[in-house]
């Protein structure tokens, strides 16, 4: 899109998000699906192995074998899931930035652009998760534990009621605080990519830029969440129908166990497919919010126009190229009296 930059309302941002998503659907869907496919490439074989072990077992299910398979699956899935999440979010953000600037980006280029700065993006997302969720959750858990211990030590109905009330209040406060922090850090990845800054500076930039617009971002996330529910329901309808038909046609414990495993595999596939369709929506919207806030607070539209007109001035000018200017009275020419 080559439309001139200007402040947008929430409705206009959502409309532009829909337009960018529609025009670049194949790019967004492919970028979101490639990392997901890596997870499924591990999950599906592991699920098939689980089903084969259960089916081939004579008598009781071999618990030790299932536990070993579970440990192997987790050892493979956790690193792959982390890598896939970083690659997916960063590549989708890069694709959304390019689409907003009117550039045509290929799937391979979007994914390939992540690897040179993969560790920076990983550190950024780690800090974002820690500061927005894990640290507040740990503090809230510690406070709740202290309230419970205090109520146990004090005893009595009033102490128990006070601890329950404190638990509810602390939980609500932690929930609101986590959402508020998450909204404040929501534009950190676009800031990190566009401004090519560090993870810590990107978080600070996001907090600064998100002031005054976190309510709009929250509404956007609510709408995307409602959309994801609708997409998931539509995707689960064929799964429910197929499961009911297969259960009516088969008999025996082995068939029921195999159907449960197959249903779980299909459930994961449908879940990831829905995420691949929904994730580009809020990623694109966050990129648009980032540029909108820079236009509102920093005059980014004027900066872009100056860049396009070739009027930008280098940040540093070599000292040798600058003439020294002195301020004060002009030098008086020498006069010779005859």
pLDDT tens-digit map of 24-35: 999 999 898 877
pTM: 0.79
- The token pair at 332 is 């008086």
Per DSSP, the residues of 146-180 read: HHHHHHHHH-SHHHHHHHHHHHHHHHHHHHHHHHH
Pair 86, 39: CB distance under 8 Å: no
Q: Half-sphere exposure of 6 toward its Cβ, with a 13 Å CA cutoff? A: 5
Distance, C-alpha 104 to centroid of its chain: 23
- The token pair at 300 is 């980014």
Alpha carbons 193 and 125: distance in angstroms, whole number? 13
Pair 32, 228: CB distance under 8 Å: no
Quick one: 314 exposed, middle or buried, by C-beta within 10 A (0-12, 13-18, 19+)?
exposed
Judged by DSSP in three states, 273 sits in helix
Query: What are the CA-CA distances from residue 185 to residues 132, 193, 266 (Å)?
Result: 8, 14, 34
Residues 230, 182, 90, 216: is their CA dihedral positive or negative?
Answer: positive
If one counts every other C-beta atom within 10 angstroms of the C-beta of residue 218, the result is 15
If one counts every other C-beta atom within 10 angstroms of the C-beta of residue 205, the result is 21
Judged by DSSP in three states, 55 sits in helix
Judged by DSSP in three states, 285 sits in helix
Orientation angle between helical segments 253-298 and 10-23, nearest 10 degrees: 120
Q: pLDDT tens, position by position, for the chain (338 residues)?
A: 555 667 889 999 999 999 999 999 999 998 988 777 777 777 667 666 666 666 665 555 556 666 776 777 777 778 888 888 899 899 999 999 999 888 888 999 999 999 999 999 999 999 999 999 999 999 988 888 887 777 777 766 766 677 777 788 888 999 999 999 999 999 999 999 999 999 999 999 999 999 999 999 999 999 999 998 888 888 777 777 777 776 666 555 556 666 666 776 677 777 778 888 899 999 999 999 999 999 988 887 777 777 666 665 444 434 433 344 444 444 444 444 43
pLDDT tens-digit map of 162-192: 777 778 888 899 999 999 999 999 999 999 9
- The token pair at 101 is 């600037």
pLDDT tens-digit map of 49-89: 666 666 665 555 556 666 776 777 777 778 888 888 899 89
């Amino acid at each position: 899109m080559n439309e001139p930059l200007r402040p947008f309302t929430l409705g206009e941002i959502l409309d532009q998000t829909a337009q960018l998503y529609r025009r670049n659907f194949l790019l967004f869907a492919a970028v979101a699906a490639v990392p997901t496919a890596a997870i499924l490439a591990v999950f599906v074989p592991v699920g098939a192995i689980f089903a084969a072990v259960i089916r081939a077992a004579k008598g009781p299910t071999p618990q030790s074998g299932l536990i070993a398979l579970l440990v192997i699956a987790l050892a493979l899935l956790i690193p792959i899931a982390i890598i896939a999440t970083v690659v997916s979010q960063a590549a989708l953000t890069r694709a959304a930035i390019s689409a907003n600037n009117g550039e045509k980006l290929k799937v391979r280029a979007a994914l390939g652009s992540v690897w040179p700065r993969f560790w920076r993006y990983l550190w950024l997302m780690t800090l974002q998760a820690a500061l927005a969720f894990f640290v507040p959750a740990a503090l809230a858990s510690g406070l709740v534990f202290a309230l419970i211990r205090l109520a146990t030590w004090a005893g009595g109905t009033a102490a128990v009621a006070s601890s329950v009330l404190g638990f509810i209040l602390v939980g609500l406060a932690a929930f609101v605080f986590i959402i508020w922090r998450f909204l404040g850090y929501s534009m950190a990845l676009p800031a990190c990519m566009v401004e090519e800054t560090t993870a810590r500076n990107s978080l600070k930039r996001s907090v600064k830029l998100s002031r005054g617009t976190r309510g709009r971002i929250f509404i956007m996330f609510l709408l995307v969440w409602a959309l994801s529910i609708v997409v998931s329901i539509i995707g689960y309808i064929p799964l429910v129908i197929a499961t009911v038909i297969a259960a009516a046609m088969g008999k025996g414990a082995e068939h029921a166990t195999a159907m449960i495993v197959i249903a779980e595999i299909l459930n994961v596939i449908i879940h990831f497919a829905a995420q691949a369709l929904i994730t580009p929506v809020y990623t694109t919207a966050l990129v648009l919010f980032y540029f909108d806030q820079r236009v509102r607070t920093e005059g980014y539209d004027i900066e872009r126009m100056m860049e396009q007109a070739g009027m930008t001035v280098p940040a540093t000018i070599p000292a040798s190229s600058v003439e020294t200017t002195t301020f004060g009275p002009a030098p008086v020419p020498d006069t010779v009296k005859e």
